[in-house]
Amino acid sequence: MDEIFADIMTTLTTPAGLAALGQVIMIDLVLAGDNAIVIGLAAAGLEHKQRVRAILIGILAATLLRIVFAAFTVQLLAIVGLLLAGGILLLWVCWKMWRELRRPGHGGNPMHASAPPPKSLGAAAWQIVIADVSMSLDNVLAVAGAAREHPTALIFGLGLSIVLMGLAANFIAGLLEKHRWIAYVGLAIILYVACDMIWRGFSEVQPYVAAYLAAALP
Partner 1 sequence: MLELDIPISGFPFPLVLPAVSVLLIAAAGVFALFAWWTGRARRDDHVTPWDIAAALTFLGCAAAIMGEVEHVIEYFWPQETRTQPANG
Decide: is 49 part of the binding site for partner 1 (CB under 8 A). no
| Distance between CA atoms of residues 32 and 159, nearest Å | 11
Quick check: 107 and 180 in contact, CB under 8 A? yes
Among 180, 198, 166, CA closest to 90: 198
Q: Residues 81-120: x/- map of binding to partner 1 (CB under 8 A)?
A: ----------------------------------------
Helix residue spans in the chain (DSSP H):
2-13, 15-43, 48-71, 73-78, 82-101, 121-142, 151-178, 182-216
163 forms part of the interface with partner 1 (CB under 8 A): no
Residue 112 or 179 with smaller CB distance to partner 1: 179
Q: Which residues contact 8 (CB under 8 A, 6 or more apart)?
A: 152
Query: Which one of 93-101, 118-126, 180-188, 210-218 is the stretch in contact with partner 1 (CB under 8 A)?
Result: 180-188
Stretch that binds partner 1, among 35-43, 74-82, 100-108, 149-157 (CB under 8 A): 35-43
DSSP reduced 3-state for 12 = helix
**Residue 90 and residue 135: Cα distance in Å, rounded?**
8
Closest to partner 1 by CB, 40 vs 130, is 40
**Could you tell me the smallest distance in angstroms from the CB atom of residue 101 to partner 1?**
16
* Number of CB atoms found within 10 A of residue 26's CB: 11
65 part of the interface to partner 1, by CB under 8 A: no
Binding status of residue 205 toward partner 1 by CB under 8 A: no
7 binds partner 1 (CB under 8 A): no
Q: How far apart are CA 82 and CA 4, in angstroms?
A: 35
- Supply the minimum distance, in Å, between the C-beta of residue 104 and partner 1: 23
Q: Which stretch binds partner 1 (CB under 8 A): 27-35, 86-94, 111-119, 203-211?
A: 27-35
Residue 175, CA distances (Å) to 68, 170, 171, 172, 209 in order: 32, 9, 6, 5, 44
Smallest distance from the beta carbon of 212 to partner 1, in angstroms?
Answer: 28
- The residues of the shown chain that bind partner 1, judged by CB under 8 A, are 19, 23, 26-27, 29-34, 36-37, 40, 139, 142-143, 146, 164, 167-168, 171-172, 174-175, 178, 182, 185-186, 189, 192-193, 196
